[in-house]
Structure 1
Amino acid sequence: MNDYWCIPSKEDADFVACMEDVLDVYELPYDPMYPVVCMDEKPYQLLDDVRQPLPVRPGDNQKTDSEYKRNGTCSIFAFVEPLGGRHHVGVHEHCTAIDWAMEIKYLSDEMFPDAKKIILVMDNLNTHKAASLYKAFPPSEARRIIKRLKIHYTPKHGSWLDMAEIELNVMTRQCLSRRISTLDKLKCELSAWEMERNRDTAKIQWHFQTGDAREKLISLYPTLSSVTF
């Protein structure tokens, strides 16, 4: 929840509407035919050692020199089904519309090919649009994929409402808190991490509900004039 304290400083009806929409999604009961999936992405810098680390000794941590070499950047796409415990990580050299579209096709056809509708929660990045699928696939294919999705966007300054951000934080602690020098090595490491997460059917329990929002974030809700309903 990196930007929790970046929520609007005053009432914001747009924020509230998006927030309550996402919170309603999180209260849906688990249904494998209508899986709720959260998606997020992050940049990652590939780093290599300039000097070889010292050999690890029993009972001691590896000694790594502070100097490092930059080997470029890439983008990591993370998908998590909080209630079903399904996970997927994709690594791309870039984070273009086409990269996102390829990951969405994987979500549709590989992760949940039998689902009637995939309920997708993500932030409103400019590439996270139906239009991106038309940049990657023929119109009939783009439309086929879009029709399998029901998209819910988190509000601006509300990425903490995306459970895939929790997934990325776990990934960083367990897999990325060290230097990884090449794209191939990163893909290999994250593939192994993904397999372990799926093997463990790691789930996310979300506790923040609409009632909590209306109490703790009351300052974001518009003040209503006296109106008879």
Structure 2
Amino acid sequence: MEKNELKPHLKRQWCISKITGDFIARMEQVLWLYNLPYDPKYPVICFDERPCFLIGDKVEPIPMRKGKVKKEHYSYEKHGSCVLLMAIEPLTGKRFGKVYKQRRKQEYADFMFELSLLYTDAHRIRLVQDNLNTHNNSSFYQNMEPEKAFGLTQKFEFYFTPKSASWLNMVEIEFSALSKQCLSDRIPSQEELEKRVMAVIKDRDDKKVKFKWQFTKENARDIMHKSYTQILTKT
């Protein structure tokens, strides 16, 4: 009997929005950025946020034993949620994360200020992020004194990914790793989640886990040639 190569229990999801001139413009800016040589004065950093749901067990799970996997009861308890803000520097393996109770302009401004303190020698931080309503300079001015806010606007240079194109943000690779190592587990409290997440982040930071982006704007022009042509011919 031939081995069945189909694996219906495994699947991957992705989403790509309608390819417009704005989509291509943002995509090419990000791809250009990823292809630049390393420059400590202008570090490229990828940032995003991830909601984390706090889940507890109703029934005590059966602990993992040698040769056996941990067993959880299907029922669970909801304990609210929190959010993980995460930034990585792909070319150096440097990373910074912080867990907050909620996602507002205040948390974004606080995170970016702390991130800026890690790059005091950099002229400007080139930040890749999505176009969420909190991801802009107004967050600084609404939560800080004007001079401090202005300083951050001069420190950060924003590069926005296209709508529905999170695959262009390398921090998603980091979220995937964190999910496999801890975030997919049932964690009942923000304190425990923060402890576990920070331990994984520290381990990956100590190991300097880096990312090498392969997809270039030339690849995009080749693969999306039809879309490029359609946009060019529009009046």
Into which bin does the TM-score normalised by the smaller protein fall? over 0.9
Distance 1:213 1:4 in 2: 17
In the other structure, the counterpart of 2:64 is 56
Tell me how large the CA RMSD over aligned residues is.
1.6
The 8 Å contact of residues 21 and 231 in structure 2, kept in 1 or not, is answered as no
- Give distance in 1, aligned partners of 2:86 and 2:103: 12
Deviation at 1:3, TM superposition (A): 6.9
Consecutive unaligned residues of structure 2, counting only runs of 5 or more, are 1-11
* Bigger RCO of structures 1 and 2 (CA < 8 A, at least 6 apart): 1
Instruction: Between 30-39 and 215-224, report the one with greater CA deviation.
Output: 215-224
**Moved >6 Å (runs of 4+):** none
Q: Could you report, residue by residue, the CA deviation over 1:152-189 in whole angstroms, capped at 9, with x for unpaired residues?
A: 10011222111111111111112212101100111110
Match of 1:158 among 165, 185, 188: 165
Q: Which residue identity lines up with residue 137 of structure 1 in the other structure?
A: M
What is the one-letter code of the residue matched to 2:52?
Y
Cα distance in 2 for residues equivalent to 1:152 and 1:102: 19
Please list, as runs of the form range in 1=range in 2, the aligned pairs for 1:5-16 lying within 5 A after superposition.
5-8=15-18, 11-16=19-24
1:124 pairs with 2:134:
no
Letter in 1 for 2:161: T
Partner of 2:119: 112
- Aligned counterpart, 2:183: 176
Which of these residues, 210, 219, 223, is aligned with residue 217 of structure 2? 210
Unpaired segments ≥5 residues, structure 1: none
Q: Tell me whether 1:224 sits opposite 2:235 in the alignment.
A: no
| Alpha-carbon shift at residue 224 of structure 1 (Å) | 3.3
SS of 1:147's partner is: helix
1:174, 1:37 → 2: CA distance?
A: 22
Query: TM-score scaled to structure 2, two decimals?
Result: 0.90
Superposition deviation, residue 31 in structure 1: 1.2
C-alpha distance in structure 1 between counterparts of 2:218 and 2:57, whole Å: 50
CA distance in 1, matches of 2:102, 2:226: 39
Residues 15 and 156, structure 1, Cα contact 8 Å, conserved in 2: yes
- For 1:131 and 1:220, how far apart are their aligned partners in 2? 34
